[in-house]
């Protein structure tokens, strides 16, 4: 186990080594903790490295400064300093024990006891530490055992851990989807259900971020089903569509079968009815980014996709939007036909401009835009013919249009 950590690229990274050299003047003062240790033991890639230390935040900042490493007091009242080393951020947090909490924010006291620090963390698999010099693992709550079995277990009393931070409910289901083996502990589920009301007190951004991370995992179905069964969505997503638990697996199947990239908007929309008002309301409540809101709106507004209109949808709203809507709202036959229509088809550019129709005899003014609109729609209805055919046909249409206008 020690070798796995010690030989990892992230452990030997220059940025981390510089920090370790700057801080770790005494033994037992600095350890890696949480996701980096957990993921590394599973052979997964590690992107974020968090450190825990017995040193007080001021001392951490002082030592980093003397070593020429930039540090930012990102959460100094909770003991967290972010070091920027070799272009990467590392969060360094002084060991803590909780003294009070309102479920959103813990009031903490600093500690020098590793087990005390471990005891205030959420799950056994997240309370694994690795010595920052040797990579030696410290496991106070059988986290490695649980990791090997795919068990997500709260440390100590689940209700208490949840009351310290209600976001842990959503984290529970996310980690279950990532590491679980398809079973969940009834006591933990009951504690999550009991604490779910507390989710309303959390910042919407934190909820949206967790939900996004869960829903875009390779297989969130088991967790989502459990969350539906235990009414976990009710406090922040009462609009949850009953069909969600069927639509989500169908999207996943289609993504895998047709090698489609995971689409966040499509995954989120599996949870909601196809109703723009509701989607807008949820987007506002969860404070989703403008870009994501637009993507969601594009996917619920307009006609349902069919084999006949799928290219028009792709032309007007983009290929990924067209594929998503087909994946979300059509049966498997129609979906396959839609995909076939989009395969090897590059969305073309309409080749006629205002100047072209004026050159064809349309008088400058409002008639230009109207004519362009008509020509574009005809081009779409004719299944996007190439520019030469488009020009010939456009000429005919303009001639007919002008003679009809003259007669009128
Ligand atoms: N509500 C929370 C959030 C975090 N943690 C602790 O803080 C560590 C770091 O948290 P975070 O970076 O959010 O998660 P990771 O465990 O690193 O995993 P991932 O990045 O995959 O979410 C966790 O491992 C856990 O020990 C916790 O106890 N309770």
Which amino acid residue places its CA nearest to atom 6 of ligand 1?
A: 121
pLDDT score of 98: 74
How much is the average pLDDT of 221-237?
Answer: 95
Burial class (CB in 10 A: 0-12, 13-18, 19+), 240: buried
How much is the average pLDDT of 299-310?
Answer: 95
pLDDT band at 398 (very low <50, low <70, confident <90, very high): confident
Task: For residue range 317-345, list pLDDT tens digits in order.
Answer: 999 999 999 999 999 999 999 999 999 99
Asked if pLDDT for residue 151 goes beyond 70, the answer is yes
Task: For residue range 237-272, list pLDDT tens digits in order.
Answer: 999 988 888 899 999 999 999 999 999 999 999 999
Return the ligand 1 atom nearest residue 121 CA: 28
CB-based pocket (< 6 A), ligand 1: 34-35, 48, 50, 121-122, 126-127, 165, 167-168, 171
**Beta bridge mates, 33:** 50, 129
**Beta bridge mates, 97:** 109
Distance of CA 127 to CAs 32, 76, 80, 360, Å?
10, 21, 17, 74
pLDDT score of 219: 93
Task: State the first-to-last Cα distance of the chain, in angstroms, to the nearest integer.
Answer: 87
To test the pocket of ligand 1, the residue of 34, 152, 171 to mutate (highest count of ligand atoms within 8 Å of its CB) is 34
pLDDT score of 192: 98
Residue that wins the pLDDT comparison between 152 and 351: 152
pLDDT score of 347: 95
Residues 286 and 293: their CA atoms lie apart, in Å, by 10
Lowest mean pLDDT among 7-11, 26-30, 159-163, 311-315: 26-30
pLDDT band at 404 (very low <50, low <70, confident <90, very high): confident
Distance 35 CA to ligand 1 centre (A): 6
Distance 122 CA to ligand 1 centre (A): 8
**Quick check: pTM over 0.95?**
no
ipTM: 0.98
- Pull the structure tokens for residue 372: 């362009």
Specify the fold of 1-149: Beta Polymerase; domain 2 (3.30.460)
pLDDT band at 27 (very low <50, low <70, confident <90, very high): low
pLDDT score of 101: 65
Q: What is the domain partition of the chain in residue ranges?
A: 1-149, 354-407
pLDDT band at 104 (very low <50, low <70, confident <90, very high): low
pLDDT score of 105: 64
Residue that wins the pLDDT comparison between 102 and 394: 394
State the chain's mean pLDDT as an integer. 93
Return the ligand 1 atom nearest residue 50 CA: 9
Asked if pLDDT for residue 311 goes beyond 90, the answer is yes
To test the pocket of ligand 1, the residue of 50, 96, 161 to mutate (highest count of ligand atoms within 8 Å of its CB) is 50
pLDDT score of 102: 63
Task: For residue range 160-183, list pLDDT tens digits in order.
Answer: 999 999 999 999 999 999 999 988
Return the ligand 1 atom nearest residue 47 CA: 20
Torsion (CA) 376, 378, 380, 384 in degrees, nearest 10: -90
């Amino acid at each position: 186990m020690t070798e796995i950590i010690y030989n990892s690229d992230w452990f030997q990274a220059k940025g981390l080594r510089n920090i370790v050299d700057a801080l770790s003047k005494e033994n037992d003062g600095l350890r890696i903790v949480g996701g980096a240790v957990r993921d590394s033991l599973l052979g997964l890639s590690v992107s974020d490295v968090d450190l825990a230390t017995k040193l007080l935040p001021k001392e951490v900042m002082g030592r980093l400064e003397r070593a020429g490493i930039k540090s930012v007091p990102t959460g100094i009242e909770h003991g967290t300093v972010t070091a920027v080393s070799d272009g990467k951020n590392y969060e360094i947090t002084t060991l803590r024990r909780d003294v009070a909490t309102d479920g959103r924010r813990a009031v903490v006291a600093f500690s020098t006891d590793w087990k005390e620090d471990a005891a205030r963390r959420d799950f056994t698999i997240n309370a694994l530490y690795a010595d920052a010099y040797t990579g030696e693992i410290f496991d106070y709550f059988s986290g490695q055992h649980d990791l090997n079995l795919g068990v997500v277990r709260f440390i100590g009393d689940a209700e208490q851990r949840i009351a310290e931070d209600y976001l842990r409910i959503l984290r529970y289901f996310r980690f279950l989807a990532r590491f679980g083996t398809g079973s969940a502990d009834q006591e933990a589920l009951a504690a999550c259900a009991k604490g779910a009301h507390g989710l309303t007190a959390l910042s919407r951004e934190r909820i949206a971020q967790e939900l996004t991370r869960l829903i875009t995992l390779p297989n969130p179905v088991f967790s989502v089903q459990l969350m539906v069964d235990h009414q976990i969505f009710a406090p922040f997503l009462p609009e949850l569509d009953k069909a969600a638990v069927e639509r989500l697996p169908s999207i996943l199947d289609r993504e895998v079968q047709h090698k489609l990239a995971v689409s966040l908007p499509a995954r989120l929309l599996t949870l909601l009815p196809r109703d723009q008002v509701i989607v807008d309301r949820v987007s506002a409540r969860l404070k989703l980014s403008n870009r994501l809101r637009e993507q969601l709106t594009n996917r619920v507004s307009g006609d349902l996709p069919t084999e006949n209109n799928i290219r028009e949808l792709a032309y007007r709203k983009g290929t990924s939007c067209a594929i998503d809507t087909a994946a979300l709202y059509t049966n498997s036959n129609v979906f396959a036909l839609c995909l076939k229509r989009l395969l090897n088809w590059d969305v073309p550019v309409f080749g006629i401009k205002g100047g072209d129709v004026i050159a064809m005899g349309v008088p400058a003014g409002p008639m230009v835009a109207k004519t362009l609109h008509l020509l574009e729609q005809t081009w779409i209805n004719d299944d996007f013919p190439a520019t030469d055919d488009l020009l010939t046909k456009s000429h005919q249409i303009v001639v007919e249009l002008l003679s009809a206008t003259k007669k009128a």
